[in-house]
Amino acid sequence: MSNFAEITLEGKTYQLPIVIGTEGEKAIDITKLRDMTGYITLDSGYKNTGATKSAITFLDGDKGILRYRGYPIEQLAEKSSFLEVAFLLIYGYLPKAEELKKFVYEVTTHTLVNEDVKKIYSGFPVNAHPMGVLCALVSSLSAFYPIPTDIKNTEIVDLTIYRLLAKVPTLAAWTYKNSQGHPVNYPKNNLSYAANFLHMMFSLPVEDYEVNPVVADALDKLLILHADHEQNCSTSTVRLAGSSHVTLYAAIAAGISALWGPLHGGANQEVLEMLEAIRADGGNVKKYIEKAKDKNSGFRLMGFGHRVYKNFDPRAKIIKKACDDVLKALGVHDPILDIAQELEQAALNDSYFIERKLYPNVDFYSGIIYKAIGIPTNMFTVMFAIGRLPGWIAQWREMRLDGEPISRPRQIYIGEKQRDYVPIDQR
């Protein structure tokens, strides 16, 4: 195969290098295109644009493959832990026992946040959406823990990574407590990452609370499944914001904002609300399938479809099984699960969804597990953010260490040509 592509523009032929990834993905390197030809490329939504080279996550949407640093998601979900996966994503290799012990220790011993952070909560309305609050609080960490933006300062970078992984669950749980008008729970460092989060969420001063290990395991698995997903909307936002050399806290806050949207991480909240609405409407699944197919309805089947997966979402497969296991272990029968299964079957057999290759995505079943373990619906996307944190951090770190330039796309201007200002009385 030739190692360059040829492009002919206005009668002149140019050669552009071909780049091939370790899994055989092919790209045309257009870095010099504008300099050589005066042309740029146009690709709204970046459906054909590789924004970077990355060694973190590989996914093949046609085959339904997802691997972190080469390790299949199925193996990691079954055998690893969230903090081990975080280490793997960020530093690129599976840690030795001593390295993992140190990493877990560092993350565990940074879970407290500055007491003054608590004052910020009182400024928010109690019914504020937790994603808005979390975003503001993560941003505020750059005020409480100011850091230089020097990526070569390994000690500071690592400390910031520990702080973020440790403090985001504390901030998230406190956001929930604040919305309930309940006192916050301080972290308990003798608990695992997931168990500590559950303690901070659900423990009350008036009664004993013991973390159910089934619930903690399920949560840990969910976090692993969400930990990275290469250049999606929020991750690209983190990389883009980070490319201006803002602090890691600010870049992560930008990612949290991008994740919130209903077409991205916000879909998990929307899925559950949709399933509840179908139930309240008599459980008529067919009606909602028809509505999703009607372009004038403005309704989409939430939790269905994916920009990259056009066969199945491997995370959805694992989550569906985890959902069955958790509900069984907790002895919960949720009629919402029946509706979800009916909806899935109806969609998978409908030509509209088949032709467009729309399958359940990671968000379709995750909400049912969250609901079963007591997480309120408006916290679902916050759970996604906690899970995605290592991925965002890993991608930010890779981008900075690779010395990527500031991200600055171009555009094709389609507005008015030059015209003269018209005084207000003559318009």
Does the footprint of ligand CMC cover residue 366 (CB under 6 A)?
no
CB of 292 to ligand CMC, least distance (A): 4
Question: Structure tokens of 284?
Answer: 């008529």
Does the footprint of ligand CMC cover residue 340 (CB under 6 A)?
no
Alpha carbon distance 372, 54 (integer Å): 36
Does the footprint of ligand CMC cover residue 328 (CB under 6 A)?
no
Does the footprint of ligand CMC cover residue 229 (CB under 6 A)?
yes
**Cβ proximity to ligand CMC, 307 vs 317, nearer residue:** 307
- Enumerate residues 279-298 that contact ligand CMC by CB under 6 A: 292
CB of 168 to ligand CMC, least distance (A): 18
User: Could you tell me which stretch among 94-102, 115-123, 275-283, 357-365 binds ligand CMC (CB under 6 A)?
Assistant: 357-365
For the question of residue 334 being annotated catalytic, the response is no
For the question of residue 338 being annotated catalytic, the response is no
Does the footprint of ligand CMC cover residue 317 (CB under 6 A)?
no
User: Could you tell me which stretch among 13-21, 154-162, 212-220, 356-364 binds ligand CMC (CB under 6 A)?
Assistant: 356-364
The three-point CA angle 136-141-145 to 5° equals 165
Given a contact cutoff of 8 angstroms between Cβ atoms, the answer to whether 303 and 296 are in contact is no
Does the footprint of ligand CMC cover residue 232 (CB under 6 A)?
yes
Q: Where are the alpha helices (DSSP H) in 260-334?
A: 267-280, 285-293, 314-330
DSSP state for residue 379 in the 8-state scheme: G
Given a contact cutoff of 8 angstroms between Cβ atoms, the answer to whether 139 and 253 are in contact is yes
The only residue of 362, 373, 382, 399 in contact with ligand CMC, by rule CB under 6 A = 362
Unique residue bearing structure tokens 């883009």: 240
CB of 324 to ligand CMC, least distance (A): 21
**106 three-state secondary structure:** helix
The only residue of 34, 101, 286, 356 in contact with ligand CMC, by rule CB under 6 A = 356
The CB density around residue 408, as the number of other CB atoms within 10 Å, is 8
Query: Cβ contacts of residue 116 below 8 Å, gap of 6+?
Result: 144
Does the footprint of ligand CMC cover residue 68 (CB under 6 A)?
no
Q: Which long-range contacts (CB under 8 A, 24 or more apart) does 188-193 make?
A: 189/108, 189/109, 189/111, 192/81, 192/216, 192/220, 193/81, 193/82, 193/83, 193/104, 193/107, 193/108, 193/169, 193/220, 193/223
Does the footprint of ligand CMC cover residue 361 (CB under 6 A)?
yes
The CB density around residue 282, as the number of other CB atoms within 10 Å, is 8
Q: How far apart are the first and last CA of the chain?
A: 61
The only residue of 130, 305, 314, 387 in contact with ligand CMC, by rule CB under 6 A = 305
**Cβ proximity to ligand CMC, 141 vs 254, nearer residue:** 254
DSSP state for residue 266 in the 8-state scheme: T
CB of 307 to ligand CMC, least distance (A): 4
Does the footprint of ligand CMC cover residue 118 (CB under 6 A)?
no
Contact string 178-217 vs ligand CMC (x = CB under 6 A) = ----------------------------------------
Contacts with ligand CMC by CB under 6 A: the residue count is: 20
Question: Structure tokens of 111?
Answer: 């879970």
Check 199, 229, 306, 313 and give the catalytic one: 306
Alpha carbon distance 361, 352 (integer Å): 17
Does the footprint of ligand CMC cover residue 265 (CB under 6 A)?
yes
Query: Cβ contacts of residue 283 below 8 Å, gap of 6+?
Result: 335, 339, 342
The only residue of 300, 310, 338, 348 in contact with ligand CMC, by rule CB under 6 A = 300
CB of 189 to ligand CMC, least distance (A): 32
Does the footprint of ligand CMC cover residue 358 (CB under 6 A)?
yes
The CB density around residue 37, as the number of other CB atoms within 10 Å, is 15
Q: Which helix (H) or strand (E) holds 17?
A: strand 12-20
Does the footprint of ligand CMC cover residue 306 (CB under 6 A)?
yes
Does the footprint of ligand CMC cover residue 277 (CB under 6 A)?
no
**Cβ proximity to ligand CMC, 54 vs 232, nearer residue:** 232
Judge residue 311's burial from the number of C-beta atoms within 10 Å of its C-beta, 0-12 exposed, 13-18 middle, 19 or more buried.
Answer: middle
The only residue of 69, 264, 371, 397 in contact with ligand CMC, by rule CB under 6 A = 264
Check 217, 220, 228, 363 and give the catalytic one: 363
Which residues would be at the binding site for ligand CMC (CB under 6 A)?
A: 229, 232, 263-265, 267, 292, 300-307, 356, 358, 361-363
Catalytic sites, residue numbers? 306, 363
